Amino acid sequence: MEAKVMEAETAREASAATNAKDMGTMPMIVNNEDIPSLEQAESTSSSTSREQSEWDFLEGPKKDYIEEIERQAGKEFQTHLDKLKAAPLESKASSTALAYKAENKRRKDWIIEKRVPLNESSFLLYLVDRAKGIGSSALSKISAAYQAANQGISVEEI
């Protein structure tokens, strides 16, 4: 039994070496410090500009709600309000937050191009337009990005 395991491992190693040789590449060990991470990039920016960009992400009822709380609470609660503004994206993984921002930017650019209002109805038109060329998982990502920036999708507004 042990001989078969050793034989399989040897065959696997030989195959990997042959594949790497055929491709003209050799496997190399990469140190984690050589790969820039999103967290490192974010830490170099000021927290104020990051919080502002998080705030710019919000739309519709979510944005209106935060603005109302801000009017009522005043400046003494600004740090709490900044946390509240950033919550929709800070609760996501960095890669997810970046993907959501990109999806919402694409949607807003499409809305500007088509000269339709920035509301839920235009979001649905955008989904239908994008559905012609992308799959359901991409549509799900677009929908999740919209819902993170807005309160969700309602039936009443349609």
Does 126 have pLDDT greater than 70? yes
Task: Flag the least confident range among 14-18, 25-29, 102-106.
Answer: 25-29
Q: How high is the pLDDT of residue 92?
A: 77
Name the pTM for this structure.
0.51
The C-alpha atoms of residue 34 and residue 8 are separated, in whole angstroms, by 33
The overall longest dimension of the chain from CA atoms, in Å, is 75
Are the CB atoms for 142 and 130 separated by under 8 Å? yes
Task: Render pLDDT for 39-74 as a digit per residue (tens, 0 to 9).
Answer: 333 333 334 444 445 446 677 777 787 788 888 888
Alpha helices (H) along 76-135: 78-90, 94-114, 120-131
